[in-house]
Amino acid sequence: MPWVDKDKCTGCGICTEECPVGVISMENEKAEINMNECIRCGKCHEICEEKAIRHDSERIEEEIRANVEKTKRFMEHFDSIEERQACLRRMMKFFEKGRIVAEKTLARLDSLKNDMK
């Protein structure tokens, strides 16, 4: 999934014209991608000369850090160790659910390959 590095984006607007499904707009002179409608064609990566449109994989570490920080923040709302541990377990279940959804989605998408043969 593409995302825009706002520090690199010069606001030239070329990507907004080239996106085949028109999901890139300009917000405060920076490109903004509607992630829900992006069809992952990759064209914006190719055409941005500033290399401002980045790949999702570059954000993995950042997202992990954010998840850990969020969990710590939530735990701080509880006074006792027991309550904090319970909060931690609930957050682990939450992320575990995300893992299951991702794994099962991947399995079903993989079966689409066979359907296309």
- Per CB under 6 A, residues contacting ligand SF4 are 2, 4, 9-15, 19, 21, 23-24, 31, 33, 38-44, 48, 50, 52-53
Q: Which is nearer to ligand SF4, 50 or 84 (CB)?
A: 50
Q: How far is the CB of 101 from ligand SF4 (least distance, A)?
A: 22
Q: How far is the CB of 67 from ligand SF4 (least distance, A)?
A: 25
| CA separation for the pair 72, 64 (Å, rounded) | 12
Three-class HEC string of the chain: CCEECCCCCCCCCHHHHHCCCCCEEEECCEEEECCCCCCCCCHHHHHCCCCCEECHHHHHHHHHHHHHHHHHHHHCCCCCHHHHHHHHHHHHHHHHHHHHHHHHHHHHHHHHHHHCC
| CA separation for the pair 89, 26 (Å, rounded) | 41
Q: How far is the CB of 30 from ligand SF4 (least distance, A)?
A: 7
Q: Which is nearer to ligand SF4, 23 or 87 (CB)?
A: 23
Q: How far is the CB of 79 from ligand SF4 (least distance, A)?
A: 46
Q: Which is nearer to ligand SF4, 12 or 75 (CB)?
A: 12
Q: Which is nearer to ligand SF4, 17 or 69 (CB)?
A: 17
